[in-house]
Amino acid sequence: MKFLFYFCAFFISINTQAQYTDYVGAGHSTGVTATASSQQSKVDWTETASPEHTIDGQGLDARLLETSRFLAQATFGTDLNYIKNVSEGTFEAWIDNQFTLPTTTQSMGDLTTSIFEDAKTLYYDNGGTPGTYFGPQDFHFMYAWWEMNTNNEDLLRQRVALALSEIFSFSDELEKERWGEGSGYFYDVLLNDAFGNFETLLMDVTRQPMMGRYLTYYNNPKSDLANNQFPDENYAREVMQLFTIGLYKLNNDGSYQLDGSGNRIPTYDNDAIGEFAKVFTGFGAGAGLYGVPASFGLDFSTVNKQTPMAMYDAYHEAGEKYLLDGYVIPAGQTGMQDVTDAIHLLFTHQNTAPFIALRLIQRLVKSNPSPQYINAVANAFNNTNGVRGDMKAVIKAILLHPEARSCSWTTNPNQGKLREPMIRYFNLLRQIPLNNPSGKHWNDGSDFQSYTYQAPLSALSIFNFYYPDFSPNGPIADAGMLAPEFQIHDSFTSIGYLNTFDAYIYLQNPLYGDQSHFGLADATFDFTQLKYYARDPETLLNYLDKLFTNGQLSNDTRTIIKDAMANFVGSDDATLLKKSKIALWLLLISPDYAIIK
């Protein structure tokens, strides 16, 4: 908390033998005395603070704001006490501690199923017609996602898992009312492998039944020339284009390799797609449901969505496969040997490190990393202590790099990114206290998704919510820069975002949706803390700046918000509530918050 003081006298006695190159407030307080005419704020606070903190460094917010910015990149949002606790240590130590934490609860798939069962019971107990509640559906997965991500400690794992979900872009939109537990089990792969090895992650994604269904290589048989039937090429194409190596050969710093005519060099051609398609034949159910045995050709409704797909060699394309850059899978191998070789080839390809480095940097830190930044992260991927694909090393390289941490980069025009709408939504519901009498965080997020096109695992395309190389027309494109999130920032979503936050904050609409059919009271915001700070506009804005804008709330925006607060005169509870609401809403729709730098 920042308190305002009026100093009548400010006396400093310094040992003149000491020579420091830092500044007052940076911590060298020995032999320094500070006095003030008053040790209380100009408003009627119950707290007091000592003026010595302006000298010993504890009275400055720089470290808190630096920590707030770090956590904005590494989490879905934290409260001020958490920011303060992290600020007392190093960021690397926090990351190392996060690496030790398991996922918060049971698997996301199991949690989705158990929430469905609880919801069904509540629905029937509260007058629902028996036999009319079905699932688990997509919204049960969303209930589970919010239940897992509301009071959890595994903040970094969850943030990285969401980033990975936008690279390995499985979507539940095509099967929106079916197999919510399958979405949960797919998400489990991302959670479990977020801190593991990228090769393991790639293999686990490949064998996940929901991905097999989504990209149509579940029950994908070998060629049948008599019936003009050939292996499905869907996954073969996307595992290269979107998950590992991209369309064109890259240097380690993410720049394109060029041929003698200055043209980009393709990483693969249609022949390679056809050969990879042969590799991904023969996958079928790993386990059945309801006592039905697993088999190739089993209807997906009776497939266990948690168990990895099995290889059925009788349906796998035999023979050599001519893949990339002269690599040939030999004849005579089992289907899983072929898959293992193909996955390893993609994992060790020179493009994979810079390709994944760029995409993870874009999701966590900035849209336009320098070649040096990409190169550093790619190097961490290529070899950290003799290991290739160590995700922990990659995450550290991203979050601790000077372009992510140095404050000097905040003034660079290439720095920063547009916060995704769903990240802004997560921030709001995690960083402002809630009144939630039921204790259940069953948020389907449907209202927000309908206005912004975003919710976990809900991209409308395998290419994600937006293309990673999207650049909006105008100054950004003219400068040759990328801004992927702007692809879903249009007149509809921008107004929808404003109106949705207005409804949540001003009207105090139910945050989790109307759950009266479950007999649950709706969750709303608790403005008690904000009203307390609202007695002084500057104090409230400093508090919100630490939570949301990470020290980058501009003077212009401060003035706009303070002028708006000044329209409400008085210090009664109702007036303080109005001041709190207008300040929060205006900050959350400001460019200072929309762009994280």
Report the 10 Å Cβ neighbour count for 281.
Answer: 26
Task: Report the SS3 class of residue 310.
Answer: strand
What's the length of the chain? 597
Distance separating alpha carbons of residues 313 and 583, to the nearest angstrom: 63
Instruction: Give the CA angle between residues 266, 267, 268 to the nearest 5°.
Output: 95
Place of tokens 């006095």: 35
Instruction: Give the CA angle between residues 15, 17, 23 to the nearest 5°.
Output: 65
- Write 551-556 long-range contacts (CB < 8 A, 24+): 551/61, 551/62, 551/65, 551/66, 551/68, 551/69, 552/69, 552/410, 552/592, 552/597, 553/587, 553/590, 553/592, 554/592
Q: What is the DSSP string of 169-194?
A: ---SGGGTTS-HHHHHHHHHHHHHHT
Residue-by-residue pLDDT tens, the chain, 597 positions: 333 222 232 222 223 333 334 444 444 444 444 444 344 444 555 544 444 444 444 446 899 999 999 999 999 999 999 999 999 999 999 999 999 998 766 799 999 999 999 999 999 999 999 999 999 999 999 999 999 999 899 999 999 999 999 999 987 665 555 799 999 999 999 999 999 999 999 999 999 999 999 999 999 999 999 998 999 999 999 999 999 999 999 999 999 999 999 999 999 999 999 999 999 999 999 999 999 999 999 999 999 999 999 999 999 999 999 999 999 999 999 999 999 999 999 999 999 999 999 999 999 999 999 999 999 999 999 999 999 999 999 999 999 999 999 988 888 888 899 999 999 999 999 999 999 999 999 999 888 999 999 999 999 889 999 999 999 999 999 999 999 999 999 999 999 999 999 999 998 888 888 888 899 988 999 999 999 999 999 999 999 999 999 999 999 999 999 999 999 999 999 999 999 999 999 999 999 999 999
User: Model-level pTM greater than 0.95?
Assistant: no
Sign of CA dihedral 108, 110, 111, 117: positive
Please report which helix (H) or strand (E) contains residue 352, including its range: helix 352-364
Report the 10 Å Cβ neighbour count for 470.
Answer: 17
* Integer CA distances (angstroms), 392 to 190, 351, 352, 516, in order: 14, 19, 16, 43
